[in-house]
Structure 1
């Protein structure tokens, strides 16, 4: 069970939520035995959120997941005081699920590439020959891919995505961009042999397997770029620090065959 939880960020987030809820529940029970004072539900929810966020960080989740864990229960308690129908919460849950579907199947949550990374990607792509082919493995809603496609109109850009809502958003945004294609396709089913640059912002879990795939499929001289996440046992040929709040960096490997 612990091994499975380490592989799936969504499951770790759930463990953090359950652990925090149990700890707060135990603390409230013990406090009730010792004194007549009772905290408000909102105060208890804030305590649970703080614990859940701390546990999420302890379990190695990204800051995005930590903030989600911190705010989930307090937001739920605040919303429960408003005259909202129950289907609103169901829709919220489904929305999050559709955006993070690949957290379960591919162990890859939704990470959005920041502005600093986009600027550095432009600098790196300017060093490529004209009419290069670029693929984003897990393109999310397509913001980064479309931005690059606009700046390099002579090159071809492909994004693959399996989270249904993220794919739909990216596909609709790319309809009027002739040099940009969005595919509803798993990165593991994608042939990388036709691309000069492969970009990914995934998670630690799939990186070793991704390395095996890129070594087998990418042509000699092509470039693999990973946002933040290292490949175990493989020293990057180049690192570009982004100096953002996430302490992100771009790691680059040149395929040598």
Structure 2
């Protein structure tokens, strides 16, 4: 039986096109073209589509198409409000350099959020203390925070458990660089890597902490089950694993997100 082989580079392009942010952009562009075509279609009949009406139509079309494409529920209000926000920003006539500065500040922070679907979420000191209490008593404990952000948790644990090996891995360059610099200035033994945790083996870690997003949890669970050793602990703040009953459920802070735990 003959096999059909994809050309080199085809798979990455397909993966990018499947990214929710890319799909949302395509949907928004298509909705804009659709509204423009509608306005041109009714113009000969003397019907004028106002900017406000066109904006609402584009937002409604984008939200409806996003639902049809089964994007996450939180994409629907984003898609609806995006054209409204664009019109409002154009109306206030802000200088272009403001948008450039905002883009340059946010780019190294959110970097590949469009692909990973994991935005920047700071965990907070209450969570650090809760995780500290859950750490095994062994002196040579190895723990990693995947998506470590600015490294607050990892540095806290490394400071209070100096005999352990506490690491963080972060894909976005700005938080990674900041965490390394802060750790060096504080002479904190925490270690930080820049990279994608999906390419990192979890086999040697006793505790893995994650504060990711609902979209990332199924793949993380599959990876943890395949790689983490018996008796190790997977912790996730706020986002449970669909279909996997946690052995631990804590509220580090009243009114804050829940901390879930699974022993491998």
Q: Does 1:125 align with 2:135?
A: no
Q: Secondary structure at the match of 2:159?
A: coil
TM-aligned CA distance change 1:229 to 1:150, over 3 Å: closer
User: Is the contact between residue 154 and residue 179 of structure 1 (CA under 8 Å) also seen in structure 2?
Assistant: no
For 1:50 and 1:147, the matched residues in 2 are separated by 41
Equivalent residue number for residue 188 of structure 1? 198
Equivalent residue number for residue 177 of structure 2? 168
Equivalent residue number for residue 60 of structure 1? 71
Equivalent residue number for residue 152 of structure 2? 146
- For residues 4-23 of structure 1, the aligned pairs below 5 Å read 4=15, 7-23=18-34
Equivalent residue number for residue 214 of structure 1? 224
Equivalent residue number for residue 5 of structure 2? none
Gaps of 5+ in 1: none
| Stretch of structure 1 that moved more, 203-212 or 155-164 | 203-212
Equivalent residue number for residue 233 of structure 2? 223
User: Is the contact between residue 159 and residue 181 of structure 1 (CA under 8 Å) also seen in structure 2?
Assistant: yes
User: Is the contact between residue 137 and residue 187 of structure 1 (CA under 8 Å) also seen in structure 2?
Assistant: yes
In the superposition, the TM-score normalised over structure 1's length comes to 0.69
For 2:253 and 2:167, the matched residues in 1 are separated by 27
RMSD after superposition: 4.1
Q: Does 1:39 align with 2:45?
A: no
TM-aligned CA distance change 1:232 to 1:67, over 3 Å: closer
Q: How many aligned positions are there?
A: 244
For 1:253 and 1:6, the matched residues in 2 are separated by 33
User: Is the contact between residue 142 and residue 166 of structure 2 (CA under 8 Å) also seen in structure 1?
Assistant: yes
| Stretch of structure 1 that moved more, 188-197 or 233-242 | 233-242
Q: Secondary structure at the match of 2:261?
A: strand
TM-aligned CA distance change 1:23 to 1:151, over 3 Å: same
Equivalent residue number for residue 237 of structure 1? 247
For 2:176 and 2:78, the matched residues in 1 are separated by 22
User: Is the contact between residue 100 and residue 163 of structure 1 (CA under 8 Å) also seen in structure 2?
Assistant: yes
| Stretch of structure 1 that moved more, 160-169 or 88-97 | 88-97
For 2:178 and 2:23, the matched residues in 1 are separated by 27
Q: Secondary structure at the match of 1:176?
A: helix
Q: Does 1:108 align with 2:117?
A: yes
Gaps of 5+ in 2: 1-10
